[in-house]
Amino acid sequence: MYDLTGFQRDLLYVIAGLEEPHGLAIKEELEDYYESEVNHGRLYPNLDTLVEKGMVEKGQRDRRTNFYTLTSRGRRELSARQDWEAQYVTA
């Protein structure tokens, strides 16, 4: 997880929070959070990086639409990150 960008970590959180989201759904969630546009040229290469790192799995819903899910590695990495953050941030 240490080698991911903040944007890539945010992608993991969004994918974890939605059920098999497609790229546009992920994009919309991030745009709501960032309050600015996320362009396709940023989104899809970063999703592909997470797939290559084995943290996200890409499936095909139909000929034009892919969906994304966390792998077991992605869930472990996200959980480890949350544990690490909890050491420093208290409610």
Kindly indicate the confidence band of residue 9, based on its pLDDT and cuts at 50, 70 and 90: very high
Kindly indicate the confidence band of residue 91, based on its pLDDT and cuts at 50, 70 and 90: low
- Whole-angstrom distance, CA of residue 17 vs CA of residue 57: 15
Average pLDDT over residues 72-86: 95
Mean pLDDT of the chain: 95
pTM of the shown model = 0.92
Average pLDDT over residues 44-67: 95
Q: Which tokens is 75 given?
A: 């869930």
Q: Which CATH class is domain 6-86?
A: mainly alpha
